[in-house]
Structure 1
Amino acid sequence: MKLPKAPWNQQQSLKDLIAVLDGDQGATRFVGGAVRDTLLSIPAKDIDLATTLKPDAVITRLKDANINAIPTGIEHGTVTAVTEDGPVEITTLRRDVSTDGRRATVAFSDDWKEDAARRDFTINALFADPDTLEIYDYFGGLADLEKHHIRFIGSAEQRIAEDHLRIMRYFRFLARFGQHDVDQETFDACRKAARELAKLSRERVADELMKLLSAADPVYAVQEMVEADVFANIVAEIDPDAGSQLAVLILREEAHDIPPDPVRRLVGLLPKDTDITAQIVTSLKFSKKLRRAVADRLSALEPSVSDIPAIAYYHGADAARDIALLFAADHDLDASLAILKDWSKPVLPMTGGDLIAMGLKPGPIVAESLKAVEAAWINEQFPDEDRVRTLARDIIKGH
Structure 2
Amino acid sequence: MRADLAAAEWPRRAGLAALTAALGAENLRWVGGAVRDALLGLAVADVDAATRLHPKAVMAACARAGIRTVPTGLAHGTVTAVLADGPVEITTLRRDVATDGRRATIAFAEDWREDAARRDFTINALYAHPETLEISDYFEGLADLAAGRVRFIGPARQRIAEDHLRILRYYRFQARFGAALDPEAEAACAELAHTLKGLSRERIAAELLALLALPDPHATLTRMRAQGVLPVILPEAGAPQLAALARLIAAEAAQGFAPDPVRRLAALLPPSVEVAEAVAARLRLSKAQRARLVSAAGRGEGDAGDPRALAYRLSSAFAIDRLLLAGADARMLAGWQAPSFPLKGGDIVARGVRAGPEVARLLKKIEARWVAEGFPGAERVDQMLAEELGTSAFRFD
Give TM-score, length-normalised by structure 1: 0.92
Give the Cα–Cα distance (whole angstroms) in 2 for the partners of residues 61 and 194 of structure 1.
44
User: What corresponds to 1:385 in structure 2?
Assistant: 381
- Write the deviation string for residues 92-118 of structure 1: whole angstroms up to 9, x where unpaired: 111000011111000111111111010
Letter of the 1:205 counterpart: I
| Distance verdict in 2 for CA 1:234–1:341, change over 3 Å | closer
Shift in Å, 1:122: 0.7
Matched, 1:91 2:91: yes
Instruction: State which drifts further: 192-201 or 363-372.
Output: 363-372
Q: How many residues align structurally?
A: 390
Corresponding position of 1:371: 364
Q: Tell me if structure 2 keeps the 8 A contact 1:222–1:242.
A: no
Tell me what 2:319 maps to. 320
SS in 2 for 1:86: coil
Residue 275 in 1 paired to residue 274 in 2? yes
Distance 1:387 1:341, change over 3 A: farther
Deviation at 1:288, TM superposition (A): 0.9
* Identical pairs, percent: 47
CA distance in 2 between partners of 1:387 and 1:325 (Å): 36
Write out aligned runs for 1:1-12 (5 A): 2-12=4-14
Contact 2:248 2:327 in 1 (8 A): no
TM-score by length of 2: 0.92
Aligned 8 A contact 2:303 2:310 in 1: no
The aligned runs of 1:118-129 (5 Å cut-off) are 118-129=118-129
Structure 1 residue 303: Cα displacement: 6.5
- Give the match for residue 35 of structure 1: 35
Q: Distance in 1 between matches of 2:127 and 2:271?
A: 46
Cα deviation for residue 372 of structure 1 reads 2.8
Quote the RMSD (CA, aligned, Å): 2.0
Moved more, 370-379 or 308-317: 370-379
Asked if structure 1 preserves the Cα contact closer than 8 Å seen for 2:271 and 2:299, the reply is no
In 2 relative to 1, CA 4–224 (structure 1 residues): closer, same or farther, beyond 3 Å?
Answer: farther
CA drift at 1:350? 1.6
Which residue identity does 1:65 align to in structure 2? Answer: A
Q: How has the CA–CA distance of structure 1 residues 369 and 151 changed in structure 2, closer, same or farther, with 3 Å as cutoff?
A: same
Does the aligned pair in 2 maintain the 1:369–1:396 contact within 8 Å? Answer: no
Q: Which moved more, 1:142-151 or 1:248-257?
A: 248-257
Aligned to 1:397: 393
Any stretches of 5+ residues in structure 2 without a counterpart? none
The alpha carbon displacement at 1:290 in A equals 1.0
CA distance, structure 2, for counterparts of residue 392 and residue 148 of structure 1: 68
The letter of the residue matching 2:93 is L
Amino acid at match of 2:153: I
The residue matched to 2:347 in structure 1 has which SS?
helix
CA distance in 2, matches of 1:290, 1:7: 35
The CA distance in 2 between the partners of 1:341 and 1:283, in whole Å, is: 31
